[in-house]
Chains A and B, each alone.
Chain A
Amino acid sequence: MSLADDPSLWQRVRRVRSRIFEHGTVVLAFQALLVYLFLYVPIAVVIALSFNDSRYAVVWQGFTTEWYEALLTGETVARVNPAAAFQSLVYSIEIAIVTVLVSTVFGTMLAFALDRYEFPGKGLFIGLVYMPIIIPSIVMGISLLLFFNIIGMSLGIGTAMIAHIAFGISFVAVVVAARLQTFDRTLEEAAKDLGANELETFRYVTFPLIKPGIIAGALLAFAMSFDDFVVTFFVIGRENTLPIFFFAMVRQGISPGVNVIASLIIVATLLLVALAQWIEGPIW
C-alpha cells in the first residue's frame, strides 16, 4: 500500500515544486521589489516626516515647511540648534578633507609598494593593511583612546584626523591595488624607452591609467571619514562631528528638527554620489 502511494506522492510534490519554479521569475521579481521597498521606505518616511505638521507624532498631520524655515533662519527646533549642527558639519568636512588628502597620497604609494615589490614579511604586512578595515570600529576607537591618553595627546579634531587617516590609508590602498593588478606594465617600459624619466612616466602614463582607482579610493576614504561615528566618538574629546551631533540628537528621541537634518544629509549625500557617478562613471 505504502509502496504504491509513496512514488505518486513524491511525484506530485515534484510536479508542484516544478510549477513553482517555472513561475519563479514572477516570485523572484516580487521578492526583489519587497527588498527594494525595505531599503527605501524607511528613508522616504524620514523625508516625508520632515514636512509633517506635528511636533511630536510620527502620524501624518499635514504638509508644512515650517521646520525647514525655522532651522534655516537659525532658530532652535526641539533642541536641535542649527548653529551647533553647522559647526559640526564644518568639522566633519575639515576632517574628511585632510583624511582624503593624506590617505590618498600615502595609500596610493602603499598600493604601488605592495604591487611591485616582494619583501620578507610581505604577507604579514598585507594583513596589517587589511586590519583597520576588518576589526570592529569600537576596538580601533578605544585602543586609540588609550594610546592618546598614554602619550598625553589632548583629544580633538587633530586626533580624529589621525584616526581617520589610519583607516583611510587601508581603504585607498586596497582599492588602488585592485586597479594596479590590471595595469599593463609594458606601457611604462615603452614610455621609458621613448626617453621619459620616472616622474614623467608616472605623470603621463601611470597616473592617467590608475586615476579611476585613485578617485574611487579617495571617494571611499571621504565617505568613510565623513560617516564614521564609532572611532570618532572615542577620540574626538569634546568636539562634535556631524554624526556625533546627530547621535546625541537621536538619543533624545524623534523630533521634527532631527527629521530635517536627516533629510538634508540624505539629499546632500545622494546628490554628491549622483554627481560623482555622472563625472566618473560607476564609483565602486
Chain B
Amino acid sequence: MGTEHSIDRGESTAVHRAVRAVRRNRWTGLIVNITPSAFWLIVFFLIPLGVMFYYSFGQRGAFGEVLLGAEHLGLQQYELFFVPPDASVPEAIWWTVAWIIEGLTPVELGLAAGEPTPYVQLTIKSIGYGLLATLVSLAIGYPVAYYIAHVAPARYQNLLLILVILPFWASFLVRVYAIQILLSRNSILTTALGILPFYETGQSLMNTQFAVLLGLTYIWIPFMILPVYASIEQIDFTLQEAAMDLGADRFEAFRRVIFPLSMPGVVAGSILVFIPTAGAFVIPELLGGPRSQMIGNFIANQFGAAGNWPLGAAASFVLMGIMLAAIGIYQRYGESDLA
C-alpha cells in the first residue's frame, strides 16, 4: 500500500486537489442535490404542461386529428370557450355577468339578450360547486376545530385529531363508493330521510347535485378542520376574557376577537378545499348524473369520447387559471393575516 501510494503520488495529489476544489466550490452541493429533481420536474411535469399549452392553440381537423402547423395556431379554442358564436367580446362578458346574477336571483330578470357558452356555464357551475363545498365544510368544520382546540379535554385532543385525519389515509375511491351506497335506494340514509314530509321513503339520491356536493364535502372536510384547528390552537384565550371584561358578550367576543384571529386557518382551509373540489373529476363522474358534471369531466371527455384535444387543452388552462387566481387571493389575504 505504502509503496503504491508513493508511486502514484504525483497523480493522486492532482486528483485530490481537483476533488477538493470541487468539494470546496459552493455550487457543487447545490448542483448535485438539485439536478435529479429539477430534471424530473422539468421533463415530466413542466414540458408536458408546455406541450398542452401549445395544443390549446391548435385546431381540430375534419377527422378529429390535431392541426398544429403555424397556419392553424391561434386563440380560436379560447374564443370558442368564452365567446358565444354570434356575440362580440363585450357582449360575451355582459352575458356571462348577467347569467351569474340571474342564477343567484330567483326571479327572471331578462338582463341580457343571450347566454354565455355552455363551456362558460359549466366553468361557473364548477366554481359554484367548489365554493359551496368550501362554505359547507367551513360551516360544519369550524365548530369541530374549535371544539378540538379549545373545548375538548386536553388528553383527548390527539385522539380527536387522529380521527379527523384517519379517513384521509383510507382509500379515496372506497370512500366515494361508501357515499354511493349511502345515497342509493333503500339505504340507511335514504330510508331514515323518509321522516321528512316532502321526501318519499327510500328514494335514491344518486346522480343529483346534492350527491356531488355531499361527496365533495365528505372527502375534503378534514382539509378544512386541520388548518382551522391549528389557528385556533394558537389563540390566546385571555383575549376573550379581556373582551368580555370590556363589556362584550360571548357572541361579540367571538365575532370580534376570536374569529378574526382564526382567519389564517380559515383562509388556508378554504383554499385547500376549494382547489380540489372545483377541479374534481372522480366524484361527479361516480356520484353525479348528466346534469351535475363539472369542468374536470368535460376536459376528460374532450380527450376521450368527444375527441377535441385542443378544446380540452384550452379548458385545462382555464381551470389552471382559476386555481392560480385562488392561490393569488390566498397569498394576498392569507399571509398578510399571518404576520
Q: Give the interface of A toward B (CB within 8 A).
A: 14, 17-18, 21-22, 24-25, 28-29, 31-32, 34-36, 38-43, 45-46, 49, 57-59, 105-107, 109-110, 112-113, 116-117, 119, 125, 128-129, 131-132, 134-140, 142-147, 150, 162-163, 165-166, 169-170, 173, 198, 223, 227, 229-230, 234, 243, 246-247, 250-251, 254, 258-259, 262, 265-266, 269-270, 273, 277, 282, 284
Contacting residue for B172 out of A134, A170, A227, CB 8 A: A227
Residues of A within 8 A of B185 (CB): 58
Contact status B282-A143, CB under 8 Å: no
Given contacts A136-B319, A142-B303, contact A229 B41 (CB under 8 A): no
Question: If A139-B320, A227-B172, A230-B282 touch, does A35 touch B221 (CB 8 Å cutoff)?
Answer: yes
Task: Give chain B's interface residues, CB within 8 Å of chain A.
Answer: 23, 29-30, 32-34, 36-38, 40-42, 44-49, 51-52, 55, 140-141, 143-144, 146-148, 151-152, 158, 160, 162-167, 169-182, 184-188, 218, 221-222, 249-251, 254, 275-276, 279, 281-282, 286, 296, 299-300, 303, 309, 312-313, 316, 319-320, 323, 327
Question: Can you list 5 pairs linking A and B with CB atoms under 8 Å apart?
Answer: A18-B249, A25-B151, A31-B144, A32-B144, A42-B218
Q: In the assembled complex, which residues on chain A have CB atoms less than 8 Å from the CB atom of B46?
A: 128
Q: Out of A131, A145, A163, A265, name the residue touching B174 (CB < 8 Å).
A: A265
Known: A32-B143, A140-B45, A284-B165. A229 touches B250 (CB 8 A): no
Q: How far is the CB of B209 from chain A (nearest CB, A)?
A: 19
Instruction: Name the CB-closest residue of A to B326.
Output: A134
Alpha-carbon distance between A189 and B180 when the two chains are bound, in angstroms = 57
Give bound CA distance, A38 to B316, whole Å: 33
The answer for the CA separation of A60 and B212 in the assembled complex, in Å, is 25
Given A143-B51, A173-B37, A270-B166: A45 in contact with B147 (beta carbons within 8 A)? no
Q: Output the least CB separation between A222 and chain B (Å).
A: 10
The reply to whether B48 and A110 contact each other, CB–CB distance below 8 Å, is no
Q: If A109-B37, A136-B279 touch, does A147 touch B51 (CB 8 Å cutoff)?
A: yes
A250 adjacent to B180 (CB under 8 Å): yes
In the assembled complex, which residues on chain B have CB atoms less than 8 Å from the CB atom of A28? 143, 146-147, 151
Q: Which residues of A contact B23 (CB under 8 A)?
A: 198
Q: Which residues of B contact A25 (CB under 8 A)?
A: 151
Tell me whether chain B's interface is mostly helix, strand or loop, or mixed.
Answer: helix
CA of A198 to CA of B336, assembled, Å: 40
Contact between A169 and B37, CB atoms less than 8 A apart: yes
Q: How many pairs, one residue from A and one from B, have CB atoms within 8 Å of each other in the complex? A: 242
A142 and chain B: residue at smallest CB distance: B303
B167 to chain A minimum Cβ distance, whole angstroms, is 5
Question: Cα distance A150–B144 when bound, in Å?
Answer: 49
Contact A273 B169 (CB under 8 A): yes
Which residue of chain B has its CB nearest to the CB of A272? Answer: B169
Closest chain A CB from B273 CB (angstroms): 13
Pairs A-B, 6 closest by C-beta atoms: A136-B279, A21-B250, A42-B178, A147-B48, A113-B33, A110-B37
Chain A residues closer than 8 Å to B29, beta-carbon distance: 112-113, 116-117
Q: Contacts A32-B148, A43-B175, A223-B169: A142 and B40 contacting too (C-beta < 8 A)?
A: no
B182 — which chain A residues lie within 8 A by C-beta? 41-42, 45
Report the bound CA distance from A42 to B279 in whole Å.
Answer: 24
> Chain A residues with Cβ under 8 A from B160's Cβ?
32
Whether the pair A243, B173 counts as a contact (CB closer than 8 A) is: yes
Which residues of B lie under 8 Å from residue A243 when comparing CB positions? 171-173
> A49, B181: Cβ atoms under 8 Å?
yes
* Chain A: CB-nearest residue to B300: A138
- In the assembled complex, the CB of A122 is this many whole angstroms from the nearest CB of chain B, namely 10
Complex CA distance for A58 and B286, rounded to whole angstroms: 18
**Known contacts A110-B34, A136-B279, A146-B51: A229-B173 contact under CB 8 Å:** yes
Please report the C-alpha to C-alpha distance between residue A188 and residue B162 in the assembled complex, in whole angstroms. Answer: 34
Q: Which residues of B contact A250 (CB under 8 A)?
A: 173, 176-177, 180, 286
Nearest Cβ in chain B — how far from A18, in angstroms?
5
Determine which of A34, A162, A254 lies in contact with B181 in the assembled complex, contact meaning CB atoms within 8 Å.
A254
Q: Specify which chain A residues have a CB less than 8 angstroms from the CB of B44 in the assembled complex.
A: 144, 147, 162-163, 165-166
Output the least CB separation between B81 and chain A (Å). Answer: 15
- Docked-complex contact B45 and A131, CB < 8 angstroms: yes
B138 to chain A, nearest CB (A): 12
The residue among A36, A136, A254 with the most chain B CB atoms within 10 A of its own CB is A136
| Chain B residues within 8 Å of A49, by CB | 181
Does B170 lie within 8 Å of A254, measured CB to CB? no
Q: B323 contacts which chain A residues (CB < 8 A)?
A: 134-136
Q: Are A166 and B170 in contact (CB under 8 A)?
A: no
Given contacts A45-B182, A169-B40, contact A134 B275 (CB under 8 A): yes
Quick one: which of A49, A146, A230, A265 has the most chain B CB within 10 A?
A146
What CA separation (Å) do A119 and B32 show in the bound complex? Answer: 14
Q: Are A138 and B37 in contact (CB under 8 A)?
A: no
Shortest beta-carbon distance, B54 to chain A, in Å?
9
Q: With A43-B175, A142-B300 given, is the CB distance from A17 to B143 under 8 Å?
A: no
Instruction: Let me know if B281 and A18 touch, CB within 8 A.
Output: no
- Of the listed residues A58, A109, A131, A251, the one surrounded by the most CB atoms of chain B closer than 10 A to its CB is A58
Q: Which of B45, B172, B309, B316 contacts A229 (CB 8 A)?
A: B172
